[in-house]
Amino acid sequence: MSISPLRDDTHGECEWLAPRPGSDVAIMLALAYVLATEGLADRSFLDRYCTGYDKFEDYLLGRTDGIPKTPQWAAELSGLTAHTLIELARRMASSRTLVTVSWSLQRVRYGEQAPWTGITLAAMLGQIGIPGGGFGHGYGSMNEPGTAPVPYPLPTLFQGNNDVDDFIPVAAISDLLLRPGEKFDYDGKQFTFPDIRLVYWAGGNPFHHHQDLGRLRHALGRPDTIVVHDPYWTPMAKHADIVVPSTTTLERNDLTCTRSDPLLVAMHAAVPRFEDARDDYDTFSALAYRLGFGDRFTEKRSAQEWLEYLYGQWRGFVLADPARAEDPPEFDEFWRRGHVRMRTEDDLTSFEEFRDDPQRDPLRTPSGRIEIFSADIDGFGYEDCAGHPKWYAPEEWLGGARAEQYPLHLIANQPRTRLHGQLDHGAVSQASKIRGREPIRMHPEDAVARTLSEGDVVRVFNDRGACLAGVVLDDGVLRGVVQLSTGAWYDPLDPDDPESMCVHGNPNVLTADVGTSRLSNGCTGQHVLVEIERFDGELPPIRAYDPPTIRRRL
């Protein structure tokens, strides 16, 4: 069963329920309500493995706020029928059920609630720790979920200790630059935004990941200097004072592996370095020598010597394992051969040991159990994240007042045709564009209501900004919902104006720069309300990939 505003989130034979986006917590609470009131909740699982179910149940049944989270209540919020929800809850309790909540549901306002509610629902079903049951996440979009991890530490660099205590959540970059000296809450603690004069950015692109790009541009106007490392002329690189051209992974030697992939692979440089491109390691080493601690930074190893060193260290871990898959060869032989195979467990049943004996194998929560009620979080006293899963109506959704002005719910999800903003100029991503613009998918009836047809270029807008996009009609998108994936490189019509329309289709000119809640202050870019109209003006050229005029080569 797929519950999603987009039909093609799953393939083939799969039942599809399309609720109003943003209503998932209400839906899961209603399912929990049916389990609780029809005697279908696994009370002995809740007693043995969880904390605070009773407090959650008081909320669920409306004892604390006067609102029982009934299927009728959730039907109004979600657009699904109460009957559908009742039947689904009974079905879930009658067979092996895995509850999985897509990561996207965290990337919205109050994004802590959906995974927490999903885990609570799975706990009520009592199947956590059983093969094929319980709770899982990350399926479909990531390569690792469901596969067993390798039992060795991977060959990675020691991270070091940062002497600077100042800290911000990633999604607070504009706040950091615009509000120096102000306090903010995060995970039960209070921090102060420092006054930043220099920004040094390597390996990330806020013009891809951050919300409300107009506000970000004002923020980037505040520091004295911005340095960016990137292999490409991304919008972030164009906003820098100093740009260091980095090599791509194809231009340097490296190791690759992930926590649950049995192969450690020698990544040989495939092409020579392009012009002045440098490895980030060489740039940072050169800076460290200029600053007087070069040898401490490099430990006198070149990049290749590091690979050899890390491999050797890792090889020691593997050789100590009597059940290893194979004896890893010496570095030179490994480098020639190109890979070595590691051992993984055949099967992975998450939380199996915990289920077996929660005293012997407790969870890494304060109580060692599944915290349906968290005394810690409750103690923070946040009005946007209570001590147990709870429904909070978001601002950017079709069930609220803002939808009267902006009646379409835009899903800004991960793109199929690239990784984030990377290789947007490449052939695969380019083939999806419509008259050079990022495709926006919409239901044919929503298009008719606006006299739009397939292939039209439209202006997508709200009170924060606007962008152009190319229309694709698809009845696999719920009515009232449109989908414009992230990753089209920001391309302002007037580069001097931070609020300028993006002529290419970057949805983050529209999204709100507000965190999930005080608890985690995460990104909320997945959902935003918009309106759409046909763009009849002369089509502006795409300049997103043009290199800027360089004042001085250093």
Ligand X SMILES: Nc1nc2c(c(=O)[nH]1)N[C@H]1C(S)=C(S)[C@@H](COP(=O)(O)OP(=O)(O)OC[C@H]3O[C@@H](n4cnc5c(=O)[nH]c(N)nc54)[C@H](O)[C@@H]3O)O[C@H]1N2
What is the 3-state secondary structure of 415-469?
CCCCECCECCCCHHHHHHCECCECEEEECHHHHHCCCCCCCCEEEEECCCCEEEE
CB of 46 to ligand X, least distance (A): 25
Q: Which of residues 119-178 bind ligand X (CB under 6 A)?
A: 141-142
458 binds ligand X (CB under 6 A): no
CB of 48 to ligand X, least distance (A): 30
14 binds ligand X (CB under 6 A): no
Using CA atoms, how far apart are residues 534 and 458, in angstroms rounded to an integer? 4
CB of 210 to ligand X, least distance (A): 7
- Calculate helix-pair angle for 280-291, 303-319, nearest 10 degrees: 110
Q: Which of residues 416-435 bind ligand X (CB under 6 A)?
A: 416, 419-422
Q: Residue count at the site for ligand X (CB under 6 A)?
A: 46
315 binds ligand X (CB under 6 A): no
Stretch (H or E) spanning 136: strand 134-136
217 binds ligand X (CB under 6 A): no
CB of 127 to ligand X, least distance (A): 21
97 binds ligand X (CB under 6 A): no
4 binds ligand X (CB under 6 A): yes
Strands 198-202 and 225-230: parallel
The CA angle 72-74-76, to the nearest 5 degrees, is 75
What separation, in Å, do the N-terminal and C-terminal C-alpha atoms of the chain show?
Answer: 57
Residue 270 or 419: the one with the smaller Cβ distance to ligand X is: 419
Stretch (H or E) spanning 178: helix 173-178
Stretch that binds ligand X, among 4-12, 85-93, 155-163, 177-185 (CB under 6 A): 4-12
Which residues are registered as beta bridge partners of 278? 246
CB of 231 to ligand X, least distance (A): 5
Stretch (H or E) spanning 23: none
Site string for ligand X, 22-61 (x = CB under 6 A): x-x-------------------------------------
Using CA atoms, how far apart are residues 26 and 30, in angstroms rounded to an integer? 6
Residue 37 or 260: the one with the smaller Cβ distance to ligand X is: 260
Each as own residue / partner, the long-range contacts of residues 254-259 (CB below 8 Å, 24 or more positions apart, any chain) are: 254/307, 255/155, 255/307, 255/310, 255/311, 257/150, 257/154, 257/155, 257/342, 258/143, 258/144, 259/144, 259/149, 259/150, 259/154
243 binds ligand X (CB under 6 A): no
242 binds ligand X (CB under 6 A): no
CB of 429 to ligand X, least distance (A): 10
Q: Supply 153's token pair.
A: 């530490």
- Contact residues toward ligand X (CB under 6 A) are 3-6, 9, 21-22, 24, 102-105, 107, 141-142, 202-205, 208-209, 229-232, 234, 246, 248, 280, 411-416, 419-422, 486, 507-508, 511, 523, 525-526
